[in-house]
A and B are shown apart, each in its own frame.
Chain A
């Protein structure tokens, strides 16, 4: 199974900050990497697929990059609605696996 490791597990940031979350796969997954946002009590929401492609309706302040084993999610200017937990997921092979999540909290 492919292990997905996110860092950091949590971070505190202020409104307007630029935030970067890292995801590392235990083996190469090309660009078969997605990012999700989850708010408390809500279902995950798809943000990015194919490592860097924005889902329809997702604001351009979100961006993704990477290929192979190392990936990043960047939020260019953090807004109050962006405080949430973010997960990466590989869809290169089954079983599909998620990172452990990164909780973005208000400083």
Chain B
């Protein structure tokens, strides 16, 4: 069974930083591309970032480019999102999602709250 478990969310002040993790199990992590998707309270889904299986290709949404960094450690079956210079509008539940083109499986999400 595919499992994706996010962690690292919490309350942070504007301008602060946070690192999210996504622990993967139940599949061969190193062969799948991965994504981060977020959902602000009461709002829709917003794709944030993509990383290919070998980390050779990375994409970001314009809204986070230059502030967020996606990475992965295939030896640890883990995906990361380093979030710097956080803004109020980054407040959201952050999901990791496995993709083989379409998004196949999602984690349960971790809540990031940016507030003073």
Which residues of A come within 8 Å of B, CB atoms?
32, 34, 36, 38, 42-46, 49-50, 55, 87, 89, 91, 94-101
Contact = CB atoms under 8 A, between A and B. Distances in A.
A63 to B, nearest CB: 16
Interface stretch (B23-31, B78-86, B101-109): B101-109
Interface of B: 35, 37, 44-47, 50, 59, 61-62, 95, 99, 101-109
A46 B103 contact: yes
Nearest to B63: A95
Contact of A34 (B61, B103, B107): B103
Contacts, number: 57
Given A38-B45, A91-B102, 17 more contacts: A36-B45, A43-B95, A43-B106, A43-B109, A44-B106, A46-B102, A46-B103, A46-B106, A49-B101, A89-B45, A91-B99, A95-B61, A95-B62, A98-B44, A98-B45, A100-B44, A101-B45
Given A43-B109, A46-B104, A94 B59 contact: yes
Contacts of A38: 45
Contacts of B44: 87, 98-101
Contact of B59 (A34, A46, A50, A95): A95
B105 A46 contact: yes
Given A43-B95, A44-B95, A96 B104 contact: no
A91 B107 contact: no
Nearest to B57: A94
Contacts of A99: 44
A91 B62 contact: no
Contacts of B47: 89, 95-98
